[in-house]
Structure 1
Amino acid sequence: MLTIEIDARPADAAAVRGTVDVVARTTDTDLTRPTPCAGWNLATLLTHMTEQHYVFATAAGGRTPSRADLGPSVSASGFAGSSRDIVRQYEESAEAVLTAFAAVDDLDAPFWIPEFGRSVPGRLAIGFHLVDYVVHGWDVARALEVTYAPDPDAVALSLSVARAVPDGPERRESKSPFAPALPVPAGADSLTEILLLLGRDPSRPLS
């Protein structure tokens, strides 16, 4: 089983705040843009990112996440509304998860993560959250066609996690959080290596 020994919260906070900056550039006309996530436009991706912040925040509080834990604005009406509403909802969810992580006293306490179907130690859950949002930040930037420069410490730690994620047949299952790894060419920068290891192809056109 993959383990993480360090406290990933500082790097995670930097990564999440970086995504807030990128998401803030979204306009109404951007919401239907395609993203690197197959079948998801930008509105769908931002919905997922917002909901996952609330899922991890709930898990950090020692509870099993449910639909009711996705935040009042999301669970009540989804993301009907303007890009301004969506950006605000994302910002609120980001602050919620960072606050919840900061309040954790024991990083070895279990977090129940629905995608895994089981509990994992908190430090491992936060490590996966970090990787997820480094990658999703890139997804949003790619969709918006803007520059993405995540925090270097967040990238470095994400790379160590991405290199340790098993690349077995479970990656091909529909509920897998990561796609099968792609070949990493010599000389690839750290962010590109993370993307390829987790099944993202930066050279693939969006459709």
Structure 2
Amino acid sequence: MTTATAHAAATTVVARAVAALRPLVTAQSLNGKGDWPTPCEAYTVDLLGAHLLDVLARGEHAARRAPWKGGVHGLWGHFDEVAGQLVDAWSDPVAWEGEVDFYGGRRPARFAGGIMVMELVVHGWDMARALSVPFDADPDLIEVAFHAARENEALGARDFGAFAPARLPQSSSALEQLAAFTGRDVSWRA
């Protein structure tokens, strides 16, 4: 893969991850389901939305090299706005270069962008399971998300509670392996 091809792929991966999650988080699909549980044990559907909006806002600030001033308050109704800003920020090839301030430390920009994909894909899986609907993430997204999850684990993600203990199943899809690696029970059903 040439450098130009790698940059082109990087600049579209966040947009593709947002596009995979977007159909699950419409007002119609979420109506009356805010208190439903998710496989991410700490979160109901609404709390997962609040968490993800905060993460995406942090990611947008990192990509723009803007100082972090605090979280986004709200639920899924703000997803399109926050996700649109995230996509716009990570669509710029410069966003993927150098280092960024991310979660209180200096990190490679590619790591921060990968974490955005991981959050969107893993929480997309969470939402699909909570709503009992399919989630379709393409293999490239899963690969980027898995790479970011492994990097995050190497930085101590399990130690500081970002991932529950891995629950690796004997045989499963790549998406289920990713979910299990981040501590989800892939047999979880709503």
Structure 2 residue runs of 5 or longer lacking an equivalent are: 1-5
| Residues 14 and 90, structure 2, Cα contact 8 Å, conserved in 1 | no
CA contact (8 A) 2:58 2:68 kept: yes
- How far is the alpha carbon of 1:98 from its aligned partner? 0.6
Distance 1:150-1:120 versus aligned 2 partners, 3 A rule: same
CA distance in 2: counterparts of 1:29 and 1:43, whole angstroms: 10
Kindly indicate whether residue 162 of structure 2 is the aligned counterpart of residue 177 of structure 1: yes
Residue matched to 1:152: 139
The answer on whether the counterparts of 1:167 and 1:181 sit within 8 Å (CA) in structure 2 is no
One-letter amino acid of the counterpart of residue 23, structure 1: V
Q: Do 2:165 and 2:182's aligned partners in 1 also have CA atoms closer than 8 Å?
A: yes
What TM-score results when the alignment is normalised by the length of structure 2? 0.83
One-letter code aligned to 2:134: T
Identity %: 26
Give the helix-richer structure, 1 or 2.
Answer: 2
- Asked if 1 retains the 8 angstrom alpha-carbon contact of 2:122 and 2:179, the reply is yes
* Cα deviation 1:134-191 (Å, max 9, x = unaligned): 1000111111111111123212332344455546865143xx3222222341x32101
Q: CA deviation at 1:203?
A: 1.2
RMSD: 2.3
Q: Which amino acid aligns with 1:122?
A: A
3-state SS in 1 of match to 2:164: coil
Classify the secondary structure of the residue corresponding to 2:56: helix
Question: What count of residue pairs does the alignment treat as equivalent?
Answer: 182
Matches within 5 A, 1:59-138: 59-67=62-70, 70=72, 74=73, 78-79=74-75, 86-87=76-77, 89-105=78-94, 107-114=96-103, 117-138=104-125
In 2 relative to 1, CA 52–46 (structure 1 residues): closer, same or farther, beyond 3 Å? same
Q: How much has 1:125 moved relative to structure 2?
A: 0.7
> Does the Cα contact within 8 Å between 1:32 and 1:41 map onto a contact in 2?
yes
Match of 1:200 in 2: 184
Aligned partner of 1:20 in structure 2 is: 22
In 1, Cα distance between equivalents of 2:113 and 2:167: 24
Cα-to-partner distance string for 1:19-58 (whole Å, 9 max, x where unaligned): 1111125333111111112232111111111222111111
Equivalent residue for 2:175, pick from 164, 186, 191: 191
Is the contact made by 1:171 and 1:179 (CA closer than 8 Å) also made in structure 2?
A: yes
CA distance in 2, matches of 1:98, 1:41: 25
Q: 2:56 aligns with which of 18, 42, 53?
A: 53
Q: Identify unmatched segments of 5+ residues in structure 1.
A: 1-5, 80-85
**Contact 1:111/1:122 (CA < 8 Å) preserved in 2?**
yes
Q: Secondary structure of 1:188's match?
A: coil
